[in-house]
Structure 1
Amino acid sequence: MSNLFSTFDPTTNFNFSLNWMSMLLGIILIPSTFWLIPSRMNILWIKLILTLHNEFKNLIKTENFKGSTLLFISLFMFILFNNFLGLFPYIFTCTSHLTLTLTLSLPLWLTFMLFGWFKNTTHMFAHLVPQGAPKILLPFLVIIETTSNLIRPGTLAIRLTANMIAGHLLVTLLGNSGSNLNIYLLNILIIIQILLLILESAVAIIQSYVFSVLATLYSSEVN
């Protein structure tokens, strides 16, 4: 490893340029008997999908969602699989790159904006001015609301990327120091690494949930 950040370089592991293919590894985790005999894994899978469906349905705040929750459920699953697989050794963490996270957030935000401004123009203008705001502050509030709206895809992408990079860097830093420690400190380091991996697993779930929930909230604002 030439430097600390080379772990995030797609061409580092085995000098293999197809590391982006790790995005498709999540498909392996989907139960092959999903449409056949129900098993415990399938029941768990269906319960998870129904829970997310009810959650996103409430956030969209419209009766005319027509299965649009499936888009956000698929987004949640895709990010969750990639976050988890990135915790395994020698598997490239594609969600730690803005190339992927911006590719997910930017088209979503752009389609919401185009739909909102073309379909519900008055409603979108009303969003720029908070209700009950003093008239003297209206120009500043419009600028602030417009800026916060424009940076949404960036904040979505950077939040996911930064959380993935931060955890992986911490695990790598502590792991590299293991060869210089005595047996007692090494045992403490292993315990810390296990706790960090548990924390990273929680972060993988939380960040995928946050990404999909925020995308759902942004879609609900254009209706």
Structure 2
Amino acid sequence: MTPHLRLILASNNAKKLRELQPLLGPLGLDLINQGALGIPEAEEPHITFVENALAKARHAAQVGGGAAIADDSGLCVRALGGLPGVRSARYAQDAGRHPAGVPREAADHANNALLLETMQGKAERHAHFTCLLVAVRHAEDPEPLIAEGHWAGQLVESGRGTEGFGYDPLLWLPDHGCTAAEMSAEQKNAISHRAIACRRMRELMALHWGLRA
């Protein structure tokens, strides 16, 4: 096994850290939340997942002085032209439903309520989660590793389940007969968009960074 590598997660979302740790753990990585190092959140001004993830990864690597990984994720709804997309976490805030800085749980509730309201009466219910991971060895790494995963389903008309976070209560998974929020963490980590992206990222890190389980 290769020596442990400290990898800064460019996020202050504790639930995201808990999801990513077992998914990237086989490579012997010491994944640490940027908040534990006093690194402030980066600006996310871009309109694509990959641009935002790259900006966050480079910011964390610059301030933290080491390798970093960023996850830019969101829910893309076909009937809404891909929205809320990169603005998924700020969907209700952008619509003036709550001020900036509210607790994550309150923002999730407001986002879900707005999406359900927006989707009322729409027959097209297809939606998918996107996870875009970018990892850099240092802030000026000319070869960022980029891995993407998707997890598709149908939007329900009212939230179901208490596991997970974000829009998990709204995405119905026909093959499993439940929403993402009705799955255990173990089930979700085996099949989610983040799990798919992490498997691809592990392959890239093994190939390009020389990391091995």
TM range (shorter): under 0.3
Higher relative contact order (CA 8 A, sep 6+): 1
Bigger radius of gyration among the two: 1
> What is the TM-score of this pair, normalised by structure 2?
0.27
Greater strand percent: which structure? 2
TM-score normalized by structure 1? 0.26
Q: Which structure: greater helix fraction?
A: 1
